[in-house]
Structures are given as C-alpha cells and as structure tokens.
Amino acid sequence: IDFGVAKATEQKLTERTLFTQYGTMVGTLEYMSPEQAEMSALGVDTRSDIYSLGVLLYELLTGNTPLSHKTMKEAAYAEILRLIKEEEPPKPSTRLSESGEALASISANRHTEPAKLTKLVRGELDWIVMKTLEKDRGRRYETANGFAADVLRYLNDEPVQACPPSASYRLRKFARRNRVAMMTTGLVALALLAGTVVSAWQAIRATQARHDAELARTDEAAQRAVADRRRIEADGQREEAVSQRRKAEEARKEAITNLQKAREAGHEFFTRVSENRLLEEPGLQPLRKELLEAAVAYYEGLATGKSEDPQAQADLIASRLRLIQVYYHTGSTNQKMAALEQGIELVEEFLRAHPDATIEHQQLAGFFHGGRGTGDKNQPLPDLDLALRVYQRAAALWEKLVERYPTTTGFQSDLSKFYDLQGGTQLKMGKRDDALRTRQKVREIREQIVHANPGVYEHVAELGYAYQSLAALLEASDPAAAEAWYRQSITIQKVAPDIVTYQDFLATHRACFGRFLGKRKRPDEAIQLLQESLGIWEKLARGYPNESKFSTKAEALRREIKELLAEMEAKNK
C-alpha cells in the first residue's frame, strides 16, 4: 500500500482490512516517506501521501525514482532506510543532467529534446517536487489540493508557492544529520579560541619586550639618520644627473622627429613634382628639371649622413633608395644603375648588421611609391646585361624581405616594380619567354596586393597595367589569352577616380584593346572601345588646355576611328 497510508493506519477501510502494527513496514520502499521508514505509525499522516505523490512526479519527470533502481539493488535494507530518512535526493533537473546517454531516451519518451527537457524542469518544477520530498513533513504541502494547486499555478505561468530551502534550514538539516561531526567541530573551535587567548597573552608580553628593545634601538637609529641624510644628498645629485640625461635624450628624440618631418616633406615634394603632368609640358620642362634637381641635391645630402643608431641608419638608407627613383626621372642611365647597385649593397649590409630590427626594416618598404614611371623613354638604353643582373639581384633581395614581412604592402609593391623592370629588359634583349614568366610574377604579386588592400585604386591601376603588359606580350603568340588579359584590365578599371593620371591610364588601356580588336578584324567592338577612349581624352583636353598630349592623342584616335569606319563601309559594300 503506497497511497492512503495514513487512513489505513488510523481506521478500518474494509471488512478485510489488515491493520498495520507498531514496528511493521507499510508501503513500497521507492515511494516510502521518511516517517514510514521510522516503522512507527505515530508520525504517519496524509503528508506521507504527499511524499509518495512527489516520488511519482519525480519519476514522471526523470524516468527514475529519487532512490535509483541501481541503489535499490545494491544497498542493504538498513542502508535503504537510512537513505530515505536522511539523504536529500538530487533535484529532478540535476538527475536529468547526470543521466548521460539515458537522457536522450527519456526526452524522446516525453516528445522533446534533451536540452529543452532539462531547461523546462529546472526552476519551479524542481521547487515543487523538492517541496513534496522534504524530510520534514511540516515543510511539505499540507494537502493534496495544495499540491495540485501549485502544479496548476506552474501550468498557468503563475507564481508557485514552492521555493528553494533557505541557507539556515539547510544548515540545521546538516547539523541534525552530522551531530557527531558538529560536536567535534565545536570542540575544535573551543580549543582554537582557548589557544587564541593564550597566544594573545603571550603576544602582549612579546610586545612589551619589543618596546624595550625599540628604546635600545633609538640611539642606533639616530646615528643612522645622519648617514641617511648624507645618502639622500648623494641620491639627489644622482637624480639631477639622471634628469639631465633624460633632457638630453628628449632633445635627441625631438631632433630625430624634426629630421623625420623634414624628410617626409622632401618625399612629398618629390612625389608632387614627379607626378604633376603639367610640369612635363614643353614650356614647363625647365622648371620641372630644376625642381627635380633640387630633390636630387636634397636626397644626396641626406644619403651622405652616418649614424650607429639603427633607426637613423634606416632613414639614411631610405633616402638613398628614394634617390634611386629621383634618378629615374632626371639622371643618366649610368647614374640610375650606380644608385640602384649602391642602394642594394646598403640594404644587404643593414640587414646583416641588424637582423632583428624589424621596425627599422619596414622603413625601407615602398620607396618606389609616388613615381609614375621608371624612366625617360628618350634616354639611351643601358647595358642590358648589366641592367638585367642588377634588377635580378634587387628582386632576389626583396623576395627575402617579402618572405619575412608578407603583410607589408610596400615590400610587395617594390618587388613587383623590380620584376617589371626585369621583364622589360628581357623583352628588349629578345627573351620573350623569360619576359612572359617575369610579367606573370608581376601580375601575381599585384593581385595579392589588391586583394589585401581593397578600395585602393593606386594598386588597381598597377594591376591593370600588369594585365595590359601581358596582353601586349601575347598579341602575336596567343591572341585568345591576350584578349582575356585585355578584358581583365578593362574590367577592374571600369570606373576610375577623377584624377588625371588614372583617367589617362583608363583611356590608354581601352585604346590598346580597341587597336588589338581592330587587327583581329572585329571593327564594331574596336570602334566602341576607341570611342570610349576618345571621350576620356577629349574631356581631359578640355579640362587641361595647356596639356597638348591629350589633344594629340584624341586627334590620332579620331583618325583611327575614321579609318575603321571607312574599312567597315567598304566591306559592307
């Protein structure tokens, strides 16, 4: 009998009722309340039924009773009774989370997911179940109606009466279960208190003894005070010396900062002069030459400096590398090669002397930035064998820098420029296959740069130039590949910033592609591209009337378009 135990122990239920006698067990162990486990009818009432109902609800939620089947099989009878009377069962949510693999089947039987079931039970359902399973019957629901009402409150999303036990109640429960341990702890605490009192008394005596010793040390302290004053005076002198050194260091840093600003101003000056197309007009060529020669004098002055400081050395080498680019605009062929060789040697020596100066290494990156070209086409060709060796040496050195600093765009950009110079030299030497391989390296590097720096049109323009160079190289040997590279160049530069240089690049690339299609007997497509280029150059010619190049290019393109139209008309007739 598991329900109605109280009624069965207090009155006759039927004509055949067997009354429970004092000292006998009534009910199933898994559903038995602590007062039933006492084997005395004196403490059994309707709240025992509430406990059994709580066990049933526990089993419905977790698939197991508070006393697990495993425990019931393995524990002795007396131990089971002790567990019923003394041990608090785990909360339903805790039992579910500890079920392991069984949780999946339990959840499936309840048509829900394991995580959702545990979350659903945690909280108010835990409180309701644990209130029914209280060892102290006075803390359980008074009646089954009260139990049912709280369940209905939960189902209606109303506040439930059940709540977690307070800390003081848990402490009292613990004390009752562990009387011997608590008495032992109390005795230990009493002993500690007694020890503390004795220790305090001894500490007072020790304090008095220390006071006496302190008086004896006072005289010694007075003597040390004199020595301390002298030491303080010496420390003050040392601090003054440190302060002076600090001021000197700050002055040195300020001087370095000012020098850096001066160098940056010089770099900006060169960039503006070298990129300003108006200064290339015949009437302004003397001014451009004078300004660039001033830049040469400035960089040569910086490059002659000497320093043992890695940062200062890096600045000097950066100036020398910048001078290389200035020579590419103003100097002779021999000056260009000599400056490049010297710059390579300085970089190699600096890397050997300061292999770990990573910040200073990166000051050398991007020195080719700011120059539109790599030299004057009207100057005589250099010794091609010498030029190729120098460019290959530079490329090999910058390959190592790119390998060490793969995310530094300046090193990648400079390496692509060296490869570009190398490929141009190979082409002049008739080594078309070598030139093609080198130009492919230029393309690969610039594609990586554009991918890592989206939205920077300077890199997009450089990549477009690489595509066009490949297309021009393949026009005769592989027209299909050449057309593909031309289209790539046009695609990535579909919309260029309203800057003279980039607009000129855009028109040039379209014109080259149009001429190629004209040679391939595709005049319709060719004329469309040539007309787009013509529109750009006409706009530039109107915006820059003193720039004769734009009007000259536009006029030449009109003639080409006219010839193509005439050719188409003749073909149609």
Tell me the per-residue pLDDT of 113-128, one tens digit each, with 9 for 90 and over.
888 888 888 988 889 9
Q: Describe the crossing of helices 144-155 and 46-62 by its angle, rounded to 10 degrees.
A: 30
Whether the pLDDT of residue 429 is over 70: the answer is yes
pLDDT-derived band at 102 (thresholds 50, 70, 90) equals confident
pLDDT digits (tens, 9 = 90+) for 136-156: 888 899 898 988 998 999 989
pLDDT-derived band at 244 (thresholds 50, 70, 90) equals confident
DSSP labels, 298-321: HHHHHHT---SSHHHHHHHHHHHH
Tokens 């390579």 sit on residue: 344
Are 52 and 67 within 8 A, CB to CB? Answer: no
CA angle 455, 459, 464 (to 5 degrees): 110
Instruction: Choose between 419 and 222: higher pLDDT.
Output: 419
Rounded to the nearest angstrom, the gap between the alpha carbon of residue 168 and the centroid of all alpha carbons in its chain is 49
Domain definitions of the chain by residue range: 5-177
For residues 513 and 464, give the distance between their C-alpha atoms in angstroms, rounded to a whole number.
12
Tokens 């049912």 sit on residue: 148
Query: Where does 5-177 sit in CATH, by number?
Result: 1.10.510.10
Contacts 24+ apart (CB under 8 A), 61-66: 61/92, 61/96, 61/121, 61/125, 61/129, 62/92, 62/95, 62/96, 62/99, 62/106, 62/121, 63/99, 63/102, 63/105, 63/106, 63/109, 64/95, 65/30, 65/31, 66/90, 66/133
Whether the pLDDT of residue 412 is over 90: the answer is yes
Evaluated on CA atoms 513, 519, 522, 528, the torsion sign reads positive
pLDDT digits (tens, 9 = 90+) for 546-565: 878 889 999 999 998 998 88
At 160, which helix (H) or strand (E)? none
Candidate ranges 119-133, 261-275, 284-298, 329-343; pick with highest mean pLDDT: 119-133
Tokens 């030029």 sit on residue: 387
- Written as one letter, the residue type at 92 is P
At 142, which helix (H) or strand (E)? none
% of the chain surpassing 70 pLDDT: 78
Count of beta carbons in the 10 Å neighbourhood of residue 323? 25
pLDDT-derived band at 279 (thresholds 50, 70, 90) equals very low
Residue 422, helix vs strand vs coil: helix
Are 483 and 526 within 8 A, CB to CB? Answer: no
Instruction: Choose between 40 and 190: higher pLDDT.
Output: 190
